[in-house]
Amino acid sequence: MMKDIIQLFKIGKELGLSKKEINRVLLFGNRKHTLLFISLLIISFIFFGIIIIILGIEASKNTYGAGTFYSTVKEKDFNGKK
């Protein structure tokens, strides 16, 4: 995806467009909804960050990971080996 964006910038420069004009075409062509777009983007980043933190806390609470078997080894199994 970054290659595509870089390529679009190169094409824009070849056409004689300024960086401001290229950005306007790529991201914010309609100035009316720029603030709405930015605020939704920030809210979505915060939302996904909270989801990742919650999932990390829930995953760390489990003693055994998903799909693993429980251990049957006990301390008394090692008492006779001393």
Q: Phi and psi dihedrals of 37, rounded to 5?
A: -60, -45
Render each residue's pLDDT in the chain as its tens digit; 82 residues: 678 778 877 888 888 888 777 777 766 555 667 778 888 889 999 999 999 999 888 877 766 666 667 767 777 777 765 5
C-alpha 71/C-alpha 73 separation (Å) is 6
10 Å Cβ neighbour count for 17?
15
